[in-house]
């Protein structure tokens, strides 16, 4: 019975959370009971071995997705708090779909435009079946790119974030969209937009010049969050040109301590 | 969290930076699915926004956050009806370079230990994860599970004992340190 009671304290004993008196009591018992001492040894070893497992880290896209979602949540909250009471009083529109319409006006406008053009082209195709389908697809893609570029140029951060989200759906973003994404990464005043731009550009990083731009961005960036996202991305891409920039960051006294640590980790990954 | 409750949602970013890796480990050890774990981490932070009014001034933040995390995971399992999460995994291959023998051996030990951990029942595994990887204290875990600290001690002991037994069974009765000692002797 005594053994059983003592053993239930083993996890706490190993974890170091027992008070000195309880520890002494256990140690006294261990000196007299070989079986308990053996069990504690096995359990201690297991506990130590568990501590050697390094938990995996999430992908950089988790951070990007979180900040995008947070920005969307804020926009919903602001829109609802400003517009909804009046609208609900006037017309009793409590339907969530109506609320969604109000919140996402620019995106819906863009979607309607794309749908309209696609439908128009469909009608035209049925009338002239020999029209080149590939050409029509190209036109829709171009239109998609135009809408993306338009959203990226909006003054509202939430619209720019929507533009970045739309850019991710483009299979082959044109030079204009790529340039705008880089512009957002390098000069947008909103840190969440810059973070989202890192996420979007990660999907286009097979282009060597984009990688070079990402390295250059890391040397200019001042926000720790964006710096960390860029280090994660460049380390994941095995972009060795980033080593010097990471080294400079890790040595710069003005760099945030977490970023310094991350930069050192990045260098280890790349060397 | 108090600032978030008062409407300063920028502070949610601070909480995210501080705790997202901890939560990710909590979910990954249980679901073994990277995508599900990342989704659940996001879900926790947005539930914090949604239910911030339930956070009391003197609440222990980590206990409150992990209560939300546990509920999010339970809801996920209910929704997808996969209590034991036999889904896509996860464990990334960190390097394809051939490793020295000693590193290989240690990696192998850890792979076996992870296997042993996954062979535990869900409740026991969760206890060990919270105590070892999330560094939650006993009184925090007891509050989360709604049991006394005394009852928690017994449960923790049983979980660790079972893990040790499974691990020994998988390694043929020898743990790493024991094998190391044998190597030295031979």
pLDDT score for B90: 41
Q: How confident is the model at residue B104 (pLDDT cuts 50, 70, 90)?
A: low
Q: What is the pLDDT of residue B107?
A: 63
Please give the Cα distance from A61 to A260 (Å, whole number). Answer: 21
For B129, the closest chain A residue by CA position comes to A50
Position B183 scores a pLDDT of 44
- State residue A224's pLDDT score: 87
- B97-120: average pLDDT: 70
Domains and CATH numbers, chain B: 1-90 (1.10.1740.10), 99-186 (1.10.10.10)
pLDDT in tens, A238-263: 888 899 999 999 998 888 888 998 89
* pLDDT category of residue B127 using cuts at 50, 70 and 90: very high
Q: How many CA atoms lie within 13 A of A109 on its CB side?
A: 11
Instruction: Pinpoint the alpha helices (H) of A20-132.
Output: 20-32, 34-51, 60-91, 96-103, 105-127
State both tokens at B177: 């340190």
Closest C-alpha among A53, A46, A36, A52 to residue A14: A46
Of residues B49, B153, B178, nearest to A8 (C-beta):
B153
Out of A12, A63, A70, closest to residue B12 by CB: A70
Stated pTM of the model: 0.53
> Would you place residue B151 in the very low, low, confident or very high pLDDT band (cuts 50, 70, 90)?
very high
Looking at per-residue pLDDT, the higher value among A140 and B93 belongs to A140
Interface of chain A against chain B, CB under 8 Å? 7-12, 15, 17, 39, 42-43, 45-47, 49-53, 55-59, 61-63, 65-67, 69-70, 73-74, 77, 225
| Neighbour-count burial of A5, counting CB atoms closer than 10 A to its CB (0-12 exposed, 13-18 middle, 19+ buried) | exposed
Number of alpha helices (DSSP H) and beta strands (DSSP E) in chain B: 9, 0
Coil, helix or strand for A239? coil
Largest CA distance in chain B: 66
pLDDT computed for residue A179 by the predictor: 85
Has residue B26 got a pLDDT over 90? yes
Q: Do B132 and A51 touch (CB under 8 A)?
A: yes
Instruction: Determine whether the interchain pair B153/A12 forms a contact, defined as Cβ–Cβ distance below 8 Å.
Output: yes
Please give the pLDDT value at position A163: 85
Q: In terms of C-beta density within 10 A (0-12 exposed, 13-18 middle, 19 or more buried), how is residue A270 classed?
A: middle
All residues of chain A having their beta carbon less than 8 Å from the beta carbon of residue B49 are 73
pLDDT, mean of residues B10-28: 88
Q: How many residue pairs bridge chain A and chain B with CB atoms within 8 Å of each other?
A: 110
Contact B113 A53 (CB under 8 A): yes
The pLDDT-based confidence of B101 (bands split at 50, 70, 90) is low
| Cβ-nearest to A62 among B38, B160, B167 | B38
List chain A residues with pLDDT less than 50.
82-103
Distance CA A28, CA B154 (A): 21
CB atoms A49 and B168 under 8 Å: no
Return the pLDDT at A69. 83
Distance from CA of A63 to the nearest CA of B (A): 8
Going from N- to C-terminal start, the domains of chain A cover 2-51, 205-271
pLDDT of residue A84: 42
Q: Tell me what pLDDT residue B87 has.
A: 45
Most confident stretch, A96-105, B10-19, B144-153, B177-186: B144-153
């Amino acid at each position: 019975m005594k053994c059983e009671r003592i053993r239930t304290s083993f996890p706490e004993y190993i974890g170091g959370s027992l008070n000195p008196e309880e520890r002494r009591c256990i140690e006294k018992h261990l000196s007299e009971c070989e079986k308990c001492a053996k069990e504690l040894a096995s359990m201690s070893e297991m506990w130590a071995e568990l501590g050697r497992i390094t938990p995996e880290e999430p992908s950089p896209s988790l951070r990007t997705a979180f900040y995008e979602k947070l920005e969307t949540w804020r926009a919903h909250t602001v829109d609802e708090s400003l517009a909804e009471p009046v609208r609900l009083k006037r017309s009793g529109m409590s339907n969530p779909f109506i609320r969604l319409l109000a919140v996402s006006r620019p995106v819906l406008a863009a979607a309607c435009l794309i749908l309209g053009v696609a439908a128009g082209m469909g009608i035209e195709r049925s009338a002239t079946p020999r029209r080149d389908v590939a050409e029509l697809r190209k036109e829709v893609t171009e239109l998609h790119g135009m809408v993306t570029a338009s959203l990226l140029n909006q003054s509202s951060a939430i619209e720019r974030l929507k533009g970045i989200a739309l850019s991710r759906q483009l299979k082959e973003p044109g030079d204009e969209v790529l340039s705008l994404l880089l512009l957002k990464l390098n000069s947008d005043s909103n840190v969440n937009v810059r973070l989202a731009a890192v996420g979007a550009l990660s999907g286009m990083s097979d282009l060597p010049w984009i990688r070079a731009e990402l390295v250059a961005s890391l040397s200019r960036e001042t926000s720790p969050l964006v710096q960390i996202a860029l280090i994660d991305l460049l380390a994941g891409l095995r972009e060795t040109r980033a080593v010097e920039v990471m080294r400079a960051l890790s040595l710069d006294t003005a760099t945030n301590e977490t970023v310094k640590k991350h930069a050192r980790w990045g260098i280890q990954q790349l060397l | 969290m108090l600032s978030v409750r008062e409407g300063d949602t920028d502070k949610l970013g601070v909480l995210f930076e501080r705790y997202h890796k901890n939560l990710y480990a909590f979910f990954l050890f249980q679901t073994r699915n990277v995508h599900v774990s990342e989704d659940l981490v996001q879900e926790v932070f947005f539930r914090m926004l949604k239910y911030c009014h339930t956070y009391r001034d003197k609440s222990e933040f980590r206990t409150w956050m992990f209560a939300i995390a546990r509920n999010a995971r339970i809801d996920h399992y209910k929704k997808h009806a996969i209590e034991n999460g036999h889904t896509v995994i996860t464990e990334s291959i960190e390097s394809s370079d051939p490793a020295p023998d000693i590193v290989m051996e240690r990696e192998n030990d850890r792979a076996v230990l992870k296997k042993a951990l996954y062979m535990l029942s869900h409740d026991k595994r969760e206890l060990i994860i919270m105590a070892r990887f999330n560094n939650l204290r006993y009184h925090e875990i007891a509050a989360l599970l709604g049991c006394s600290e005394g009852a928690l001690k017994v449960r923790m002991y049983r979980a660790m004992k079972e893990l040790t037994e499974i691990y020994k069974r998988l390694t043929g009765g020898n743990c790493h340190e024991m094998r190391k000692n044998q190597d030295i002797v031979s």
